[in-house]
Structure 1
């Protein structure tokens, strides 16, 4: 089963991802972007702001997604795969382009392989402001609170549009509460 943990920057995806590693010891744990050697390079380019156009940035993420699908998802179809992000982020973050177009491009990049289940960690505006103020922001986080909240809304729309089994969780809950909700959702 292929499961994705989604959420905008600072929602707590990485924390939950690490907690799941101790429970699902036989699972494949991966991330997008950067889950393959090529992906590490593409991630650095995209998050470092090397792409000057939004289209070039989107294609960097699509290239990572295609490589990730080929090298991680398809090669481990018989295992539990837990991914920090997926095509859902790719579609949501490409908000300058029509959703139908980004949906098609992402389905091409993934050879129509989508997560079976998705967990979305949701942040309120107040919580997002608090979390962003406590860190150095990358080129995407620097686009601002309203930008990230719009991305979060697009993530929800994308999950529903793709018809994926989902669980939306309030990211302001305690780490333990969130972890328990995720574990229960995965184990159903």
Structure 2
């Protein structure tokens, strides 16, 4: 995470939810947001990547439902969305002390484009860190699940990434787990086959520890962004 300069406004808390398709990220994000608003009395901004802004929605449609997009173009489109998302949604909310919950962030790009598309994890990570000026979450919740099970939970027509094949999705799962294994305290890895309630209890405990380590700014209005009931990469 970036460190505010002396005299900077109180920084909020940034939490990302990661994992394969169909693992339940949006369900857990929504439950955590409700708990933070009602129990911790915090301003909460919920959002997603791609699609957390009007521009992001256009980019999301282009990369997931448009015509042919090369792997390199795909990575650049996600980085474009991320740069705009951080600049217009995430960083302003953090600067006023809000809790920002995002369904996917840069770790998804590293897993999906870096490893899944074989573009190179380090290259894709550098691109995202440049796009966001080094902003990392305070907590990243990884919901781990067999990709075949997760994809089987989805309804509707599959998008480009959902159609990428079993080997692709296995590579992305391994990439997430490998990053978590060396990523330190930022990561919380949970078995997504557990009950919704058990998973949420673990998430709340870790989120509370992060919140308690940072004094809260004056609370603003509880808000929510465009995260859907099951946002998919």
- TM-score (norm: length of structure 2): 0.74
- The answer to whether 1:124 aligns with 2:161 is no
Partner of 2:101: 82
> Which of 51, 56, 72 is 2:73 aligned to?
56
The secondary structure found in structure 1 opposite 2:190 is strand
Partner of 2:127: 105
The secondary structure found in structure 2 opposite 1:29 is strand
The secondary structure found in structure 2 opposite 1:33 is coil
- The answer to whether 1:9 aligns with 2:11 is no
Q: Larger % of helix: which?
A: 1
- The answer to whether 1:38 aligns with 2:26 is no
Alignment partners' CA distance in 1, 2:152 and 2:183: 31
Alpha-carbon distance, 1:144 to partner: 2.0
Distance 1:102 1:126, change over 3 A: closer
- The answer to whether 1:19 aligns with 2:31 is yes
- TM-score (norm: length of structure 1): 0.91
Partner of 1:72: 89
CA RMSD of aligned residues (A): 1.8
Distance 1:59 1:104, change over 3 A: same
Aligned length: 187
Alpha-carbon distance, 1:156 to partner: 2.5
Q: Which runs of 5+ in 1 are unaligned?
A: none
Q: Which runs of 5+ in 2 are unaligned?
A: 1-12, 38-42, 210-233
Partner of 2:9: none
Alignment partners' CA distance in 2, 1:42 and 1:126: 27
Alignment partners' CA distance in 2, 1:173 and 1:148: 21
Larger Rg: 2
Partner of 1:47: 64
- The answer to whether 1:157 aligns with 2:186 is no
Partner of 1:147: 168
Larger RCO, structure (CA 8 Å, separation 6 or more): 2
Alignment partners' CA distance in 2, 1:50 and 1:56: 12
Judge conservation of contact 2:45–2:99 (CA < 8 Å) in 1.
Answer: yes
